[in-house]
């Protein structure tokens, strides 16, 4: 993310500089404003208005017209936007039918958001023993590589308009660790996992993977249930219990909802004294049509069951779950309940917590 600081005091020239940033909608940046004279001196600002772009301070010239100054700044910002890496969706596959559903979901979402999609398979080398000699089973790796290439080619043929935005990556190692590592990359906006099945073994493996990735990933994680298909969103559940986190990410997730403007159900499961859902409601109304917003607060009992039942009752297309400092995720995805929550949900679940790159949406 770009770091931008504006230096100045209230004036027509300073407003003209700030207006340039308001027009740069596609600029991925954290913007700060400094109006204190002592701060100008500390940062060696000789003339205002001035701007710092990723550490480089640019001041208005001694006799430079404000129009020329703002035009030069606009050119620099345009270059930042053009050189910015395309936002990326990572979708993991183990070649199961449900992971294939997740890939199709990811590509459809990528089309809507104009994001690239990278299909990732993580191969865990197995050891076989013959005549007391251990060796890597190269045949399994070759087979997996071919499966990934065939799968990618199939999606490229099915989505010719996405030909430049679909790629694949073959990695070796432990799946959860590799996915967490990939989630740290700046261009990684979203990580998608498909529900891997309903057998007891699949529940155990998938549940463990989801717990670890959901708790430690550095970007939001979207879990796709079996047979889910991406369609235009009609009903979205936003479940949270931290007003500070809400203010940080509401605008980001509104952009994720697209132009269709679905109904948004704001849900808090907990004690009213600990969370004021009216604050969240008023926040959403600043950026979203009020008639499409409904808020509900339910006393804390069984969080998982309550959220799932509410989501089902509202026929939700997407369930967004958040909590500051990962506490809610850790509670929600405690090993004793994590598998049942994910496996039983028929709704795609978007998980995010403080520290995620959710602002990249």
pLDDT in tens, the chain (361 residues): 678 888 888 888 888 888 877 655 566 677 888 888 888 888 888 888 888 888 888 888 777 788 888 887 877 777 666 555 668 899 999 898 888 999 999 999 988 887 899 999 999 876 555 444 445 567 888 899 999 999 999 999 999 988 889 999 999 888 889 999 998 887 788 999 887 544 454 455 555 677 678 778 888 889 898 888 888 789 999 987 776 666 767 777 777 776 678 999 998 877 666 777 888 888 888 888 899 999 998 876 677 788 888 888 999 999 988 755 445 555 554 544 445 566 677 889 888 766 666 555 6
Whether residue 124 sits in one domain with residue 78 = no
Whether residue 289 sits in one domain with residue 211 = no
How far CA 129 is from CA of 13, 124, 126, in Å, comes to 75, 16, 10
Write down which residue in 32, 65, 83 finishes a domain: 83
Query: Cα–Cα distance between 13 and 29 in angstroms, integer?
Result: 22
Say if 230 falls within a structural domain.
no
Say if 107 falls within a structural domain.
yes
Q: Are strands 127-130 and 133-136 parallel, antiparallel or unpaired?
A: antiparallel
Number of Cβ within a 10 Å radius of residue 78: 13
Whether residue 157 sits in one domain with residue 117 = yes
Write down which residue in 62, 83, 104 finishes a domain: 83
Q: Which domain, by its residues, includes 145?
A: 88-224
Whether the upstream peptide bond of residue 105 has omega within 30° of 0, thus cis, is no
| pLDDT at residue 272 in the model | 64
Whether residue 245 sits in one domain with residue 318 = yes
Whether residue 246 sits in one domain with residue 197 = no
Helix (H, G, I), strand (E, B) or coil at 131: coil
Please give the DSSP secondary-structure letter assigned to residue 2.
E
Q: Please tell me the total count of domains within the chain.
A: 3
Query: Cα–Cα distance between 104 and 162 in angstroms, integer?
Result: 12
Whether residue 210 sits in one domain with residue 171 = yes
| pLDDT at residue 124 in the model | 83
Q: Are strands 116-123 and 166-172 parallel, antiparallel or unpaired?
A: parallel
| pLDDT at residue 307 in the model | 84
Tokens of 159: 């989505």
Write down which residue in 28, 53, 83 finishes a domain: 83
Q: Which long-range contacts (CB under 8 A, 24 or more apart) does 29-38 make?
A: 29/1, 29/2, 29/3, 29/4, 29/80, 30/1, 30/2, 30/3, 30/4, 31/4, 31/5, 31/6, 32/4, 32/5, 32/6, 33/5, 33/6, 34/5, 34/6, 34/7, 34/8, 35/8, 35/9, 35/10
Say if 341 falls within a structural domain.
yes
Q: What are residue 319's DSSP bridge partners? A: 237, 349
Query: Cα–Cα distance between 110 and 29 in angstroms, integer?
Result: 22
Query: Cα–Cα distance between 135 and 323 in angstroms, integer?
Result: 45
| pLDDT at residue 326 in the model | 47
Query: Cα–Cα distance between 66 and 74 in angstroms, integer?
Result: 12
Query: Cα–Cα distance between 262 and 314 in angstroms, integer?
Result: 12
Whether residue 185 sits in one domain with residue 100 = yes
Angle between helices 175-183 and 200-216 (to 10 degrees): 30
Say if 288 falls within a structural domain.
yes
Whether residue 92 sits in one domain with residue 163 = yes
């Amino acid at each position: 993310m770009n770091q931008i600081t504006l230096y100045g005091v209230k004036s027509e020239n300073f407003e003209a500089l700030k207006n340039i940033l308001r027009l740069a909608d596609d600029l991925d940046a954290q913007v700060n404003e400094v109006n204190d004279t002592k701060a100008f001196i500390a940062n060696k600002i000789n003339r205002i208005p001035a701007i710092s772009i990723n550490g480089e301070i640019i001041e208005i010239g001694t006799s430079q017209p404000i129009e020329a100054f703002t035009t030069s700044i606009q050119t620099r910002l345009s270059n930042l936007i053009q050189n910015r890496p395309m936002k990326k969706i990572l979708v993991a596959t183990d070649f199961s039918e449900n992971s294939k559903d997740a890939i199709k979901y990811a590509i459809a979402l990528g089309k809507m958001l104009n994001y690239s999609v990278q299909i990732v398979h993580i191969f865990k080398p197995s050891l076989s023993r013959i005549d007391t000699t251990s060796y890597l089973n190269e045949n399994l790796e070759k087979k997996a590589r071919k499966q990934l290439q065939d799968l990618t080619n199939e999606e490229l043929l099915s989505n010719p308009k996405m030909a430049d935005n679909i790629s694949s990556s073959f990695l070796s190692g432990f799946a959860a660790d590799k996915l967490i590592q990939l989630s740290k990359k700046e261009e990684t906006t979203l990580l998608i996992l498909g529900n891997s099945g309903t057998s007891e073994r699949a529940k155990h493996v998938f549940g463990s993977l989801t717990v670890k990735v959901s708790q430690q990933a550095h970007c939001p994680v979207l879990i796709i249930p079996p047979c889910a298909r991406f369609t235009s969103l009609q009903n979205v559940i936003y479940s949270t219990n931290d007003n500070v986190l809400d203010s940080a990410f509401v605008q980001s997730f509104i952009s994720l909802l697209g132009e269709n403007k679905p109904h948004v159900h704001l849900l808090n499961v907990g004690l009213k004294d600990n969370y004021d859902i009216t604050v969240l409601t008023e926040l959403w109304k600043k950026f979203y049509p009020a008639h499409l917003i409904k808020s509900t607060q339910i006393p804390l009992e069984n969080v998982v069951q309550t959220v799932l039942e509410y989501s089902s009752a509202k026929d939700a297309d997407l369930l967004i779950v958040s909590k500051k400092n990962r506490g809610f995720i850790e509670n929600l995805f405690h090993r004793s309940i994590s598998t049942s929550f994910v496996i039983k949900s028929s709704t795609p679940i978007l998980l995010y917590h403080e520290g995620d790159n959710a602002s990249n949406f």
